């Protein structure tokens, strides 16, 4: 029997509650905490660091669990590549309560996945359109757009609290990120900001 992995994703780290919900659902599907890969990155970004790390770990007979198809892809093209990979590795995809055995070359299953992907891509387009419209309205009203630049002054308190343990070698950067509830990429960014001001 292969290993059961889980993957969850949110577009921004402002949706902490949502990514925690995804992780709880993955645990209910039988995924151990150490096998859950998660990150804050746009679903349309082609290079997802944690997803790539998960794919590198896969062996024949393994399983990938996710809560919904839009978590692994918001692009039909990308989903086609994931299906091809799943069939090549003969792995199972578990999307919510749906189990898809990609070791069996079932055209109906592939068609269903692609249909989901079309709707995920459409949803992403609609969200993007609404965001752009909202930004244009805000700019017209003189509202400053964008996040404030991260600096030493606004680094999260829990990162500053746990950083000395990382500096002393008691934590790896991955452990520091998990402890602070941030992605590995964000931990790299915060470390650079912190070290530049030491």
Q: What residues are labeled active site?
A: 11
> Rounded to whole angstroms, how far apart are CA atoms 148 and 50?
26
The structure tokens listed for 38 are: 């998660």
Per the document, the length of the chain is: 198
The structure tokens listed for 127 are: 């969200």
> Rounded to whole angstroms, how far apart are CA atoms 171 and 156?
18
The angle at the Cα of 176, spanning 173 to 178, to the nearest 5 degrees, equals 110
Estimate to the nearest angstrom the gap between the alpha carbon of 44 and the chain centroid: 11
Using the structure block, give the residue that is written with the tokens 């700019």.
139
């Amino acid at each position: 029997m292969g290993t059961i992995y889980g993957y969850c994703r949110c577009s921004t780290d402002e949706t902490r509650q949502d990514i925690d919900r995804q992780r709880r659902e993955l645990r209910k599907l039988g995924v151990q905490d150490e096998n859950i890969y998660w990150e804050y990155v746009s679903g349309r970004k082609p290079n997802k660091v944690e997803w790539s790390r998960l794919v590198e770990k896969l062996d024949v007979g393994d399983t990938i669990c996710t809560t919904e198809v839009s978590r692994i892809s918001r692009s039909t093209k990308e989903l086609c590549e994931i299906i091809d990979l799943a069939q090549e590795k003969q792995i199972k995809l578990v999307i919510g309560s749906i189990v898809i055995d990609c070791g069996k070359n079932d055209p109906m299953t592939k068609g269903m996945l692609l249909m989901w992907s079309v709707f995920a891509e459409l949803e992403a387009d609609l969200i993007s359109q609404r965001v752009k419209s909202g930004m244009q309205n805000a700019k017209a009203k003189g509202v400053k757009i964008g996040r404030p630049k991260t600096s030493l002054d606004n680094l999260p308190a829990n990162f500053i609290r746990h950083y000395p343990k990382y500096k002393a070698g008691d934590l790896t950067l991955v452990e520091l990120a998990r402890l602070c509830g941030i992605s590995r990429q964000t931990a790299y960014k915060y470390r650079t900001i912190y070290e530049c001001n030491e």
